[in-house]
Amino acid sequence: MKILPISVVIISKNEETNIGRAIQSVLPICDDIIVVDSGSTDNSIAIAKELGANVIEHPWQGYSKQKNLGNAATKHKYIFSIDADEAFSPELREELTVLFGSGQLKTMYRVNRINHYCGKPIKHGAWHPDWHYRLFDKTQLHWKENDDVHESLSYDAHASKANLKEHLYHFTTQTDAYYQQKMEQYAQLFASKMRPKNKKGGLLKALSSAAFRFVREYIFQRGFLDGQAGLKIAKAHFIYTYKKYMYLGL
């Protein structure tokens, strides 16, 4: 497969079970892989280096700042940003090969993730579809550094955009406990970000918002069609929503 003029940036910490899969999925088309590691104590760094990635070790400063640090070290104009627990599908590699071969490139591209819960691909509920801007021209865009939880790219109405047809795989969690821990961290981050903005929390807000989210995801977005995994995801999001407004009310 042809190597493309594209750089891949991955942020990482203690991702030894994932980082190899992520890097190997992009190697067939990419010769510039930047891993920004924020203090791994496992074998993440060794695995990344062994696979040929350029590893930058830097203390954690937030999702956007870590990604922008990686962007600055890339050699190609176009960057594809992925997380350590994500991977290119073979079909995505083929699509990118055709896209860059055409020479007709937009400023930024969205990709739809296929999220996996404990190995099961999820096709309904809050996780599907799951569009994110990940491929972009670094000379025109960067990650906004005021986004602590869910980072986003800075762009204006004139930026040319398009959707990729193929998928990015996201291996969200291998265990129920890991995902619950992840939601706990996000709940605390949400509260710390919203509290200075005088956003209100408390028991009533927590219960009503959590109940609404569960019904929306599990019933109206048909999360029940994903079986036991769909129920576990909806329950985890109920708890996350409840906790973030309770933390905000403290």
Q: What is the pLDDT of residues 183-242, one digit of tens each?
A: 999 999 899 888 888 888 999 999 999 999 999 999 999 999 999 999 999 999 999 999
Superfamily assignment of 6-173 in CATH? Answer: Spore Coat Polysaccharide Biosynthesis Protein SpsA; Chain A (3.90.550.10)
pLDDT in tens, 34-84: 999 999 999 999 999 999 999 999 999 989 999 999 999 999 999 999 999
Q: Where does the pLDDT of residue 157 fall: very low under 50, low under 70, confident under 90, or very high at 90 and above? A: confident
Q: Which letter does DSSP use for residue 191 in this model?
A: H
Give the start-to-end residue ranges of the domains of the chain.
6-173, 176-248
pLDDT digits (tens, 9 = 90+) for 102-142: 989 999 999 999 999 999 999 999 999 999 999 999 999 99
pLDDT tens per residue, range 162-186: 999 999 999 999 999 999 999 999 9
Beta strand 33-37 with 54-57 is: parallel
CB count within 10 Å of CB 226 equals 22
Q: How far is CA 133 from the centre of its chain?
A: 10
Using DSSP bridges, classify how beta strands 33-37 and 86-88 pair: parallel, antiparallel or unpaired: unpaired
pTM (2 d.p.): 0.89
Instruction: Give DSSP secondary structure letters for 88-101.
Output: E-HHHHHHHHHHHH
Tell me the two tokens of residue 105: 């490139």
